[in-house]
């Protein structure tokens, strides 16, 4: 009651002043008519004008004295107002950072209240009460706790089996000593193709033999580059055609430049022939990362593939005049479909299907709907799963749920008109790689869901797909290794490829 009364005092006082001035105005008007002297009338008019002036500004006085500092008792609102400009709107900087001043509740309280000016952290004692600081510290702790869901350190060994919400799964090793297995593809006879990012190309026979395939393209196996995706032509049974994405390179003076390229070739047991480069992303770049390189055919026989922005986020993803930071669509021979969204846009690359991407490392077609889904790496936080649609802009780097690797922010926007929102995003980053939709009856409880591998936290992620939404997800197969690819094979089983060491596993429901 006392606090409520104290808050009302400025209004009460200001209202009394206003009433007093109105009464003074009425008296001045009364005197004006009774005073015969011209001088007296003039003085009375001046006095009346003063009263009117102050009476007019009395409501403003009432408003001003009752204003309190713009803050909220809601810790989330206070975080967005006071903290998000430096630390990210979704607490990305708090998730997996190195803590100079400690990350316990008392440490956070002190940091918020007192600050560390030498470290660029202001204190907010004047803006927030101790109770509000405590609530804000608790809110930040929820973000810090989020990274602990990926703490699988208790078990360092690759599991031979694992339990999920719906079933138990046995893990069977089917291939090893394959370097960094970037991609898997399955031949009609039961053999498996495996690309090694280092440049080797393998055929694993159904008997378990590992054959090296000759004729693969020469690659620049540096950084994130090398031999990447392998997929079959939709009519492989007839034409024996496969496609390989890889990091192509060329010399320009004393510099080696690289890009993402796609080769089409015929496969005869362990030999490639009729090799032809059907796509070459322009421009070439000096960087050695963010190649993209994922490929998938849709039901109409068009080839979709991802190209990363090559680390040049300021110029490439939003620029339709180059191939970088985009998902593309071409015919099986490399020619351009005439209904691509930017075919008639002056200066645009005609193969572009969507743009504003960072580094898509998963690409898959939903077999039920035909929709194209992708996952892509964010920076620090902000990895995404997107429903890829014709001509749409996916926002990078104008909008993002991530921050720079050094903890600074590069944008304060997570949404903007004309830019698509992800269907799911991860903070902290899990480094998603590979993508496959579950089909068939072997994993009935997962049918229609999307599987994504995690390079950073070494696990398999199940995204529950409902139409065009992802209402929940499940962490599975902890500690399996840096998961590079996940595939549904024609035999109805799920296969995964992991690196360090390079192995391929088969997931068998018990």
Q: Which residues are catalytic?
A: 290
Q: Where are the alpha helices (DSSP H) in 68-201?
A: 75-82, 84-87, 92-95, 105-113, 130-146
- Report the sign of the C-alpha dihedral through residues 40, 44, 47, 49, in that order: negative
Are the beta carbons of 380 and 401 closer than 8 angstroms?
no
Cα separation, 453 vs 493, whole angstroms: 16
Cα separation, 57 vs 59, whole angstroms: 6
- Report the sign of the C-alpha dihedral through residues 281, 287, 288, 289, in that order: negative
Q: Please, what is the Cα angle at 382 between 430 and 315, to 5 degrees?
A: 120
What the block records as the tokens of 408 is: 């600074």
Q: Which residues of 253-281 are buried (b: 16+ CB within 10 A; e: fewer)?
A: eeeebbbbbbbbbbbeeeebeeeeebbeb
Element (H, E) at 23: helix 2-34
Query: Which residues make Cβ contacts (< 8 Å) with residue 265, sequence separation at least 6?
Result: 215, 241, 242, 243, 244, 272, 273, 274, 275, 276
Q: Which residue has the tokens 């290794």?
A: 481
List own/partner pairs for 465-468 with CB under 8 A and 24 or more apart: 465/366, 465/437, 468/371, 468/387, 468/423
């Amino acid at each position: 009651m006392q606090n409520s009364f104290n808050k009302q005092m400025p209004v009460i006082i200001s209202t009394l002043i206003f009433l007093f001035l109105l009464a003074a105005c009425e008296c001045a008007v009364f005197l004006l008519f009774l005073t015969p002297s011209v001088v007296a009338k003039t003085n009375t008019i001046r006095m009346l004008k003063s009263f009117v002036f102050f009476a007019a500004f009395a409501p403003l006085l009432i408003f001003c004295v009752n204003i309190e500092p713009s803050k909220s008792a809601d810790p989330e609102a206070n975080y967005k107002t006071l903290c998000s400009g430096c630390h990210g709107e979704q607490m990305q900087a708090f998730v997996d950072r190195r803590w100079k001043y400690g990350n316990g509740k008392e440490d956070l309280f002190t940091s918020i209240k007192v600050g560390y000016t030498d470290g660029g952290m202001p204190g907010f004692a004047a803006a927030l009460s101790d109770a509000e600081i405590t609530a804000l510290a608790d809110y930040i702790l929820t973000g810090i706790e989020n990274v602990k869901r990926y703490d699988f350190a208790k078990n360092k060994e690759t599991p031979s089996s694992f339990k999920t919400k719906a079933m138990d799964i046995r893990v069977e090793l089917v291939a090893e000593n394959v370097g960094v297995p970037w991609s898997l593809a399955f031949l009609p006879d039961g053999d498996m193709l495996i690309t090694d990012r280092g440049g080797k190309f393998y055929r694993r026979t159904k008997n378990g033999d590992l054959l090296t395939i000759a004729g693969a393209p020469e690659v620049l196996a540096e950084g994130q580059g090398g031999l990447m995706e392998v997929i079959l032509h939709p009519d492989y049974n007839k034409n024996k055609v496969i496609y390989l994405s890889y990091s192509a390179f060329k010399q320009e003076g004393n510099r080696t430049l690289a890009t993402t390229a796609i080769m089409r070739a015929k496969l005869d047991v362990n030999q490639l022939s009729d090799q032809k480069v059907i796509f070459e992303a322009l421009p070439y770049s000096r960087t050695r990362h963010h190649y993209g390189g994922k490929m998938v055919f849709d039901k109409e026989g068009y080839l979709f593939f991802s190209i990363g922005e090559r680390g040049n986020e300021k110029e490439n993803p939003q620029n339709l005049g180059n191939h970088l930071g985009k998902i593309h669509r071409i015919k099986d021979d490399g020619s351009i479909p005439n209904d691509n969204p930017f075919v008639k846009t002056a200066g645009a690359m005609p193969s572009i299907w969507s743009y504003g991407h960072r580094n898509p490392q998963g690409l898959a077609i939903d077999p039920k709907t035909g929709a194209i889904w992708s996952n892509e790496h964010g920076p620090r936080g902000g990895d995404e799963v997107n429903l890829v649609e014709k001509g749409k802009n996916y926002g990078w780097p104008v909008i993002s749920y991530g921050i720079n690797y050094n903890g600074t922010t590069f944008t304060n926007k997570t949404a903007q008109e004309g830019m698509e929102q992800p269907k799911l995003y991860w903070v902290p980053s899990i480094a998603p790689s590979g993508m496959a939709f579950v089909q068939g009856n072997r994993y009935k409880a997962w049918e229609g869901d999307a599987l994504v591998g995690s390079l950073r936290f070494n696990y398999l992620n199940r995204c529950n797909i409902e139409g065009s939404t992802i209402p929940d997800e499940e962490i599975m197969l902890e500690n399996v290794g840096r998961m590079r690819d996940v595939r549904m094979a024609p035999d109805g089983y799920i296969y995964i490829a992991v690196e360090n060491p390079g192995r391929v596993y088969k997931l068998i429901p018990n």
